[in-house]
Amino acid sequence: MTSRLLTESLGSPDYDGIRAALRHDTSAEVLAVRGLSVRAAVLPLFRRDAAGALRQAVRIEAGPGLTLRLGDAEERTDDAGRATLLVPAVDAPRRLTLEVRDGAGLVGAAPLDVTPQRKWSVFVVHHSHLDIGYTDTQGTVLRHHLDYLDAALRLSRETDGRPDDARFRWSVESSLPALRWLATRPDDQVAEFVDRTRSGNIEVTAFPMQLHTEACSTDELYRQLRFVKDLRDRHGIDVRSAMHTDIPGAVVGVVDALNAAGVRYLAAAHNWAGRSVPYITGGDKLGRPFRWRAPSGRELIVWFTDTPHGMAYMEGNTVGLVDGYDLAEDLLPRYLSSLADRPYPYGPGTFGWYAAPGQVGADKAPDVLDAVHLRVQGAHADNAGPSIMPADIALRWNATWEYPRLRMATNADFFAHVEEHHHDRLQVHEGDWTDWWADGLGSGARPLGHVRRAQNVLRTAETLHALAGAEAEGLDDAYDKAALFDEHTWGAANPWEDAEEGTDSGGLQWTRKSAVGYQSYDDALDLLQAGARRFGAALAPAPDALASFAVLNPGSAARTDVVRAFLPRDVVPVDIPVTLLDARTGEPLPHHEEEVDPDEWPTRPIGRHLEAVVPDVPGMGRVRLDVVRGEAPAPAPVDLGRDGVIENEYYRVTYDLAEGHLSSVFDKAAGRELVNADAAAGFGQYVYDRYATAPHFNHMSGHMLVHDRTLLGDRALGRHAAVVRCERTPVGERLIVELTGKGVDWIRTTLDLHAGVPRLDLRFQLGKQPTATKEAVFFAFPFAAGGPPAAWELTGGVGGTGVPSVPGSAEHMRPIRHWVAFEDPDLTVAWATLEAPLVQFGSIHMPYAPFPPTVDDEPATVYSWALNNIWDTNFPSQQQGETTFRYAVASAAGGLPGRRLGALAAAGLTDPFVATLTTGAGTAPAAPAEAFASVDDPDVQVTSIGRNGADLVVRLRSLAAAPVETTLTVPGMRRAIVDSGLGRDAAEAPVRDGAATVRLPACGIAAVTVKGNTE
């Protein structure tokens, strides 16, 4: 009793409630007499009689000990008052009379319509959902999953003699445990495992872990699929499908990435647990399965178990397939009947049904196929192990019933069936499938920011190593750490607890989770430093200079930007004045110096940081700067006073100190104000929201339903700024202010306008106070643009106001990569972010379903959702410490496409110039400048350069909404082999004079292997 009482307190419908609802909703009362209620369900359950004729089932619920007659069928009800009558199968509705008798004779009779039923094929896919954490500490969970593979082999052996459909089969949902298992088990076990995959008993699917794909960079996403090739090449394991579990959404780049790995099937199981209401954004129009098409034209066949369908990746558990035959025989036919006849198999009150009665699913058509993909786990929990029970049920079922047929299946089995029999009948949908859980990314803002920096630093580091003639050792490991952070399990089920094991091990789990994020960035910086030193060692300094620097632009487009270089004291003493010369022209570059004083920083390298704006550095190219003796020290900064105004050739920026935001960003060239002065919040305003919900209740946010601002307990703005510094140096003008605000000890805002650079840089640093209070921090950016954003960057794609998305995608927020662009006929404006991926357009929405807005819509306002602690499970429950958020703003007249300006605006954040001393031997100086790889289409980016042995690998990405053909130029290139990003479908591209013609699909990816004179 006590346990039951406690279970009831959790507030979620339990299995008994769901199953009772299913029984009720799939039956109808046909007779009520003398206090007796008789309910009937015509079910898709068929058996052949002794003569081979097909008979179908009608299940009756009445009192115990009654005799039922329907047509020529007669049965007696059991102790529970149930009986199943088998009548001749019908092709059209047929009315029969149901007679109910007891010992005294006829109790009553009623007409009952027997209707045709589908002859279902049920593919039972047995797997374990991998949460790396959540139910236990990360290492414990992973070790258990290796144990499960041992068990899967044993169970597979036990069923070898069975009919094929009833053999134990196991789908490895996330391949990371399989990769570790293959690396640690004896050769004979590995050989057996591989044999089992080839014979169809075991399937390894494509994703190594379950990722918040929108948190991944494009490079990271593709690298996490490199294991598909490893499994094929090392073990002969063919990977045909992927599973995406728990997370209610996936980024559009998944389609191209999986296709590049040779995978065209995706089973998605979207969890009900809180915050996912796809039916309010068109999800009730989304059929399953469907074809998900990328802008490139590539497709996946997708089966999804959506939120209102119940238990997502435990749908088979819900209908008894792990509990026992009798329960499965009771529930599975009812479930299938409901799929065929109702918008959703379960009625209101079960998981995911949050809206008012009649609002949900009214327009959704029932499933149209006669095949269903049912996931099952060995127990009713995440990280559950394998069980023989589903296979035992299938064995008995298929010996008892003709239809539905149960098949113990691998994930790919189902899709092969659908592709063969139903492909042309499937709906086709395009675009992003935006994740409803992405707001959780803001719950770990500081380590998330480190990972997002790492993702960009790793591209630059690999490029430096490659250009220096070497591979970046440890690169994959650093990417894997970033992916482990982006894996969807961010902490324990009860993250506020600090036990040593189990679901309460929140402190331990978050310590490890955040550490892997910080480590990915640290590893990236190690690789960057090593790559820069290698790169510099391959180049000789100018013989008449005190020193020379090579300045690399790792971005794709040529640009003028700031560079920061360190000149060690042991190379040039700090008391010697220096001048920086642009080796291309011999002209001096104005620079600013900051000395590292040994009295202040005895633990750091001693010397001086030189800061300069370098003009026209070629994309994916370098220039040389020479350090020569100067006539006088670099000029000291000029104090600009306390007015809060800075400017350069392109912009004049005014900061309102009293109100704590930018009151004006004036584009001088266009003669246009970029700030909407009438907006609800100021430009760059700190907005702090608190919510009137209690912390430390598991899944509480998933049970909240808010149609107004009732739970918005408090909203505060940062105001009353004080100028810390406002100065001009040869490099530009800078304003630093500090202000206070709720939720933080301090806020520091830094604005930079660099000389000759058409971009405003903003940096916000917060001294975050720890609190379990439900809170959120936004920075507002109201633009004076004509409408909503035209485009925004996604992982592997581009979204936009007019760009299609998969029905049922989240719309109240967008997890972007780095930039958003607005377009009107006269001016294009771009906004970029480095650390904070979450944005809301037009309004700040309540963080509880169905996410109503809290301010009037302003289509051209971007709210950067910097951090939150909305979640009550899995994600950390509080944040603290100094946290940095960087942004950039740029504008351009003349109709420049927003996608191009967006990429340019972000480049200063994502691809900063890198300066390294040239230390190569010899007297011949490095050439003043060179381009290592370039393309002639402004919508195509060279994202990085890597190595494959002696060959360079140049990675390209298109931002264009249509296919493009570009010329890639790499000095010395003799042959070019183009693939879709992971080495498959490679084809030779024509090369002439070091230039290759490369065709990219819309928003597509290509990797070009460059073979040169060393071949």
> DSSP character for 879?
-
In angstroms, the CA 831 to CA 902 distance is 7
pLDDT band at 20 (very low <50, low <70, confident <90, very high): confident
Structure tokens given for 437: 């859980």
Report the Cα–Cα distance between both ends of the chain, in Å, rounded.
77
Mean pLDDT for 529-534 is 98
> Is 217:795 a contact under the CB 8 Å cutoff?
yes
Largest CA distance in the chain: 120
β-pairing verdict for 265-270 and 299-305: parallel
Mean pLDDT for the stretch of residues 309-327:
87
Scan for tokens 């009137």, then name that residue: 692
Average pLDDT for the chain: 94
CA dihedral 104→105→106→107, nearest 10 degrees, is 10
Measured CA to CA, the distance from residue 470 to residue 667 in angstroms comes to 44
Residue 211, pLDDT > 90, answer: yes
pLDDT band at 12; cut points 50, 70, 90: low
In this prediction, residue 71 carries a pLDDT of 95
User: Among all chains, which residue has been given the structure tokens 């490095």?
Assistant: 926
Q: Which of 10-19, 201-210, 946-955 has the lowest mean pLDDT?
A: 10-19
Q: For 225-256, what is the HEC assignment?
A: CHHHHHHHHHHCCCCCEEEEEECCCECCHHHH
What b/e readout covers 147-174, taking b as 16+ CB neighbours within 10 angstroms?
ebbebbbebbeebeebeebbbbbbbbbb
Tell whether the model's pLDDT for residue 356 goes beyond 80: no
- CA separation (Å) from 282 to 365, 516, 626? 12, 37, 60
| 220 to 224, 301, 455, 686, 911: CA distances (angstroms) | 6, 23, 7, 32, 16
Alpha-carbon span 835 to 883, nearest angstrom = 10
For residues 92-113, give the mean pLDDT: 96
Is the confidence at residue 308, as pLDDT, over 70? no
Q: Does residue 286 contact residue 306 with C-beta atoms inside 8 Å?
A: yes
Residue 523 carries which side chain, given as an amino acid letter?
D
* Percent of the chain's residues with pLDDT above 90: 88
* Calpha distance 528→931 (Å, rounded): 20
Alpha carbon 93 to its chain centroid, in Å, reads 48
pLDDT at 9: 45
Tokens of 434: 């935006």
> Which amino acid is present at 736?
I
d(CA 174, CA 483): 13
- Asked whether 898 and 890 are in contact (CB, 8 A), the reply is no
Kindly list the distances between the CA atom of residue 337 and the CA atoms of 120, 394, 516, 630, in Å, as whole numbers in the listed order. Answer: 10, 19, 47, 86
Residue 1005 pairs in a beta bridge with: 957
User: Does the pLDDT at position 353 exceed 50?
Assistant: no
DSSP character string of 914-980: EEEE---SSSSPPPSEEES-EES-TTEEEEEEEEETTEEEEEEEE--SS-EEEEEE-TT--EEEEES
Residue 813 has pLDDT above 80, yes or no: yes
pLDDT tens for each residue of 381-438: 999 999 999 999 999 999 999 999 999 999 999 999 999 999 999 999 999 999 999 9
363: pLDDT confidence band, cut at 50, 70 and 90?
low
Q: Is the pLDDT assigned to residue 56 strictly greater than 80?
A: yes
Residue 327: per-residue pLDDT? 97
DSSP character for 214? Answer: G
Note the pLDDT of residue 358: 46
Please tell me the predicted confidence (pLDDT) of residue 355: 45
Q: How far apart are CA 246 and CA 721, in angstroms?
A: 44
What's the rounded mean pLDDT across residues 66-78?
Answer: 96
pLDDT digits 0-9 by tens, 874-929: 999 999 999 999 999 999 998 899 999 999 999 999 999 999 999 998 877 889 99
Residue 110, pLDDT score: 96
What per-residue string of b and e applies to 895-915 under the rule 16 or more CB within 10 Å gives b? ebbbbbbbbbbbbbbbbbbbb
Mapped onto helix, strand or coil, the DSSP state of residue 374 is strand
Q: What pLDDT, on the 0 to 100 scale, is given for residue 247?
A: 93
Provide the pairing of β-strand 67-70 with 54-61: unpaired
Integer Cα distance of 1001 and 295 in angstroms? 8
* pLDDT for 310: 46
pTM, rounded to two decimals: 0.96
Per-residue confidence (pLDDT) for residue 7, from 0 to 100: 44
pLDDT at 877: 93
Q: State pLDDT tens for residues 971-997.
A: 999 999 999 999 999 999 999 999 999
- The Cα-based distances of 818 to 222, 861, 894 in angstroms read 18, 16, 23
The pLDDT score that the predictor gives to residue 272 is: 65
Task: Name the more confident of 272 and 102.
Answer: 102
Can you tell me the distance from the alpha carbon of 731 to that of 589, in angstroms, rounded to the nearest whole number?
A: 9
- DSSP codes joined into one string, 296-324: TS-EEEEEEE-GGGSSGGGHHHHTTTTT-
Query: How large a percentage of the chain has pLDDT more than 70?
Result: 96
Tell me the residue type at 395.
L
Cβ(166)–Cβ(398) under 8 Å?
A: yes
